[in-house]
Amino acid sequence: MLHMKTASIRTVQHSLAKVLLWIEAGERVTITKRNKAVAEIRPLEKRPSKIKCPDFQRQLRATFAHPIKGISNAELISEMRGER
């Protein structure tokens, strides 16, 4: 683990970019107010870069393996309307 950095509230307010560079480098930063630690900022844990999406097409094929037989909805509506 890298050495933990310390920054006062004033430093964070005026030099946030510098503090963020420390955090991006993997440092934990302790924030102090009047020389007393009040908070700690740490980098986020690494997350997998690729998210696996569910295979909806495969699920549909498994659920509805056999196509529905009969007339389509369009044909049914056309029959109900008649010769309009």
User: Which 3-state string (H, E, C) describes the chain?
Assistant: CCCCEEEEHHHHHHCHHHHHHHHHCCCCEEEEECCEEEEEECCCCCCCCCCCCCCHHHHHHHHCCCCCCCCCHHHHHHHHHCCC
More confident of the two residues 73 and 22: 22
More confident of the two residues 53 and 15: 15
Mean confidence (pLDDT) of the chain? 85
pTM: 0.51
**Statement: 5-41 belongs to CATH 3.40.190.290:** no
Domain boundaries, the chain: 5-41
- Is the pLDDT confidence value at 49 over 90? no
Instruction: HSE, CB side, 13 Å, CA atoms: give it for residue 58.
Output: 3
62 in Cβ contact with 36 (< 8 Å):
no
More confident of the two residues 32 and 84: 32
Q: State how far the Cα of 58 lies from the Cα of 41, in Å rounded to an integer.
A: 44
Q: Which two tokens stand for residue 31?
A: 């924030």
pLDDT of residue 68: 67
Average pLDDT over residues 26-32: 93
pLDDT of residue 3: 67
More confident of the two residues 84 and 23: 23
Q: State how far the Cα of 11 lies from the Cα of 27, in Å rounded to an integer.
A: 16
